[in-house]
Structure 1
Amino acid sequence: MLKAVSLFGRKKTSRPFKDYYAEWIETLENTLLPLLRRSMSLNSLSPNLLVTHVEMIHHHFQAYYDALDLAASDDVAQLLYPEWRNSLEKPFLWLGDFHPYLFTNLLRSFLDDDDADDCDIEIGECCELFNRPWHVVMAWKSPSKTLTTQIEQIECGLRLMVPALAARARNAQAGFVDRVAVHWARCEGRKEGVKAAIAEDLMAQIDEMMSVFVDANRLRRSVLAEIMAATNVYQGALFLEELAQFLVGFRDLELLGEFERCKVPVN
């Protein structure tokens, strides 16, 4: 329904957000991710350099969320109904962008790996296997009680906020339908009256959905910031590496082709 906004004269952005995202993901894949990986290697590890590259990727994500807010204020429909997202990305979207559970589920995977049985690999063999210093490889081994408590608090906050935002989106949609039905009956089929009434109702819905989207975006931004604040530089580097690789992987044409050929429906 929000796609109909152009019929009522709402300004749209001169630059589609998909163009910004294509440049953003390319920078992440071809510049920032290789720099981060290089700074974690045996030959290049420098704590100060690693801190810099971790901050660069974190800032890259924060800049992305800022751009999302700006695009939403101009044309929220292109974000809430992103036709430019591919079929592999769409199941992971929630209110216009990747679900914040992606962050916590990925974070939880590091803790779950720690709970698994230890494998019998010598320190030297493990370092050679990963081409990384031992303290990087073992960054998530036996995380502190403080860290696990902070992660649980982040997850708890998400369990409260996600349903509340989803309810606001549903209520906005239901309210729009109700108002249109009332105005349609009052106008008794008069074309100009119906158009003016629906335009007003649509603007109200767009404003509410823009507010919901911005709050959802704020949630994504804050969850990522909380994770980075809770982890040390080595843990944060490994987390951002996996997060970046996860997002980059959605653009893998071979993987996308296999997904689209799969006959099993995605719920």
Structure 2
Amino acid sequence: MMKALINRLKSCRPFKEFYADWINTLKSSLLPLLSRSLSSPSPDPLLLATQVELLHSHFNSYFAALDLASNDDVSQLLFPDWRNPLEKPFLWFGDFHPYIFINLLRSFLEEDDDDSDETDNGFLVKPWNVWKNVDVSLGHFVEQVECGLRLMVPSVVARSRDTQADLVEKLGVGWRKNGENFEVDEVVGELVDKMTCVFLDANRLRRSVLADIMGTLNVYQAASFLEGLAKFYAGFWDPTLLANFKNPVD
């Protein structure tokens, strides 16, 4: 019901077109460049810094586009029928949950110390490991972010739940009092405004967590983290993975 009501006021500017271009740039250009630099025995820190900035800016442009799209038509983000079935279980108010960002960082910190000794045809996969012997403050940072998310995420969810409950109450009262003459557009307009605000705050939280992470890591760690995050986003659109999901092999 909520999707149908919001759709009453939606426009016709599809965010999915931007997203397709954004993912394509990520997969075909920015991610391969960064991965090649990280595969070097001695990555150039200046080159890495440039590529990190480009990739971080690419994510920021995505979050900014989400904000603009929500003000134009929040329904296409909250009820994204254009998302593929692999992405949908991970979505939280229009995009991936901010927990994913901090969990990815934690996964790097918890890697086994011998990971850097893995070989491929006799060659060291990564002759350097930026996550070995990291400062203890980085672990404390992860805990602080997780603590903040445990406070803020339920608050955003509660606002969305309260908005939906308020909608149902107003619709019920309106129909009881006015019957078929009840005009729902004003109520729907209030719903759209409130859900847009909820979405913007959720998106602000994603952007903030990523910015905090990037501001804490050194250039090598930031490059490694962004490579992992980019692979996570791009991986959901891998043709082979999608084909196997839609047509599982017995």
TM-score, normalisation: structure 2 = 0.92
Counterparts of 1:1-267 in structure 2, within 5 Å, are: 1-7=2-8, 10-14=9-13, 16-42=14-40, 45-113=43-111, 116=112, 118=114, 121=117, 128-130=123-125, 132=126, 134=127, 137-187=128-178, 189=179, 191=180, 193-194=181-182, 196=183, 198-261=184-247
Distance in 2 between residues matched to 1:262 and 1:125, nearest whole Å: 30
User: In 2, Cα distance between the equivalents of 1:253 and 1:126?
Assistant: 27
How far the C-alpha of 1:71 sits from its partner, in A, is 0.3
Report if the CA contact (8 A) 2:171-2:187 is conserved. yes
- Deviation string 1:1-50 (CA, Å, 9 cap, x unpaired) is 2333454xx35143x10000000000001110111112223267211111
* In structure 2, C-alpha distance between the alignment counterparts of 1:155 and 1:79, rounded to whole Å: 25
C-alpha distance 2-203 of structure 1, shift in aligned 2 (>3 A): farther
Q: What RMSD, in angstroms, separates the aligned Cα atoms of the two structures?
A: 2.3
Which runs of 5 or more residues in structure 1 are unaligned? none
Contact 1:104 1:155 in 2 (8 A): yes
Give deviations 1:63-110, integer Å, cap 9, x for gaps.
Answer: 000000000000000000000001000000011111111111111111
In structure 2, the gaps of 5 or more residues are: none
Q: Which amino acid aligns with 2:155?
A: A
CA contact (8 A) 1:38 1:44 kept: no
What displacement does 1:216 show?
A: 0.2
Cα separation, 2, equivalents of 1:78 and 1:36: 31
- Over the matched positions of the two proteins, sequence identity in percent amounts to 52
Q: Does the CA-based 8 Å contact 2:116-2:129 persist in structure 1?
A: no
Tell me, in whole angstroms, the C-alpha distance in 2 between the residues paired with 1:211 and 1:151. 27
Residue 53 of structure 1 aligns to a residue whose secondary structure is helix
Residues 1:2 and 1:259: Cα distance change in structure 2 (over 3 Å) = same
C-alpha spacing 1:240/1:44, structure 2 compared with 1 (3 Å): same
